[in-house]
Amino acid sequence: MMWAILRRKAASSNLVTYGTNQSLGMARPALTGSLSHGYVDGTLRHETPTLGRNPKLSRQVHLGVPVYSMPIRNAVSSLKTDFSSQIWSRSFSSNSGDLVDAVVPFMGESISDGTLAAFLKKPGDRVDVDEPIAQIETDKVTIDVASPEAGVIQEFVAKEGDTVEPGTKVAIISKSGEGVTTHVEPSEPPAQDAPAKVEKPPPPPPKTPPPTPEIQPPKAAPPRPSSKPSATEPQLPPKDRERRVPMTRLRKRVATRLKDSQNTFALLTTFNEVDMTNLMRLRSEYKEAFFEKHGVKLGLMSGFVKAAVSGLQNQPIINAVIDGDDIIYRDYIDISIAVGTPKGLVVPVIRDAEKMNFAEIEKTINTLAKKANNGSLSIDEMAGGSFTISNGGVYGSLLSTPIINPPQSAILGMHSIVNKPMVVGGEIKPRPMMYVALTYDHRLIDGREAVFFLRRIKDVVEDPRRLLLDI
């Protein structure tokens, strides 16, 4: 009865609707296997629950087989099988967003690339959001590459030592952790095969001893003639006692800048000697009260910074710089403090030092020094600077000639404090003395300005009351 109704329906319309009109009995073979899954998803609608109730089922053509070649029950059952494959393809597409890339971040306006120094994680390790996974070493600072999402590191795309630019892909992170393999099992089988191969070679070695009895000790004579020229040749240490290590980008940058300083500037250094008695007495008398109020210890460095500010205000040419055929005078004083770290020399900057008091200077120096030792200084904290102070005294240096930090025009060198016999009021007394040195660019600064500046440093350090009276 059902078939009779269907055939009557087909005879009246003689059409099957499947995207295009065609005869029910003449379903085009071209449809078989020629439609993509995407097309079937968009056009084919299954209505199996209404089988026997909805006559529209008769107008559906089974993919790959003409309608008249199989019963409707078989067609519907095969359609269910094809529908399961559609569900699989959809789940695969949903997983396409599981992988995210960890890329090199922006490193600063003046830095175009860096070197991938080291990986902090390994493939298969789980990471959190913004957790560092690698370090990029630049000319100035070390920058971390952070994970953009929480997940598992699937693989590293770059290698240690590669030169990378901002936006370069470094690693692939799997948010679900699927597809990450440790490759431990495949490495074990070869280890088992290796010993099996080692067992076979032992038999041949016994055959080799017979030729060895022929021995070549008599040929020890040839080395004798070579001993004669060896007397004139230098005896170099063996290469296995040497180590070759690539120079870091920071060290290469420092070397380049210092050599450029020697090649460009007309370097000249003037010296003086400072009596540290009054400044050390000031620190010992007020260090406890200073710490209770400001929460930071009173050091000698803040006294020299204040003295340098006073000297630069009295001699503005030392705070200036040559730019082509012009001289740029700066109306601000940004003092750079040279800090030696295990990775190299860095020079963080104290901004607007002329506006700071002793406590603010000490807090800023402590903060910058901690960041320098931790390698967390930013580009902004080291950019600029109009004058530099280098304290070699912390390492025990008695006297040195510091090199200017380009593009600045001068640098002040501090040294160790040594008790010396000095003539004070006509009497010889022991005094804590320090040598100070000023290296300056003689193209811009004359000896007169350099000596006056260094004398101002000496006057202020030996008598800090001058700062209160501005004399």
List the catalytic residues: 442, 446
Asked if 29 and 61 touch (Cβ cutoff 8 Å), the reply is no
Nearest to 158 by CA among 168, 167, 149, 148: 168
- Residue 206 neighbours by CB under 8 Å, 6+ apart: none
DSSP per residue, 31-61? GTTTS-HHHHHHH----GGGTTT-GGGGGPP
Contact of 135 with 129, CB cutoff 8 Å: no
Encoding tokens for residue 232?
A: 């004139």
Q: Give the distance between the most distant pair of CA atoms in the chain.
A: 137
Distance CA 102, CA 145 (A): 7
Return phi, psi of residue 5, to 5°.
-65, -40
- Any residues with CB less than 8 A from the CB of 279 and at least 6 apart, and which? 300, 303, 461, 462, 464
Enumerate the β-bridge partners of residue 16: 22
Taken in order 157, 158, 164, 166, the sign of the CA dihedral is positive
The burial of 62, by beta-carbon neighbours within 10 Å (0-12 exposed, 13-18 middle, 19 or more buried), is given as buried
Quote the CA–CA distance of 261 and 180 in Å, as a whole number. Answer: 51
> How many angstroms separate the Cα of 223 from the Cα of each of 219, 227, 231, 336, 343?
8, 6, 13, 62, 47
Q: Is the Cβ–Cβ distance between 379 and 415 less than 8 Å?
A: no
The single-letter code of the amino acid at 407 is: P
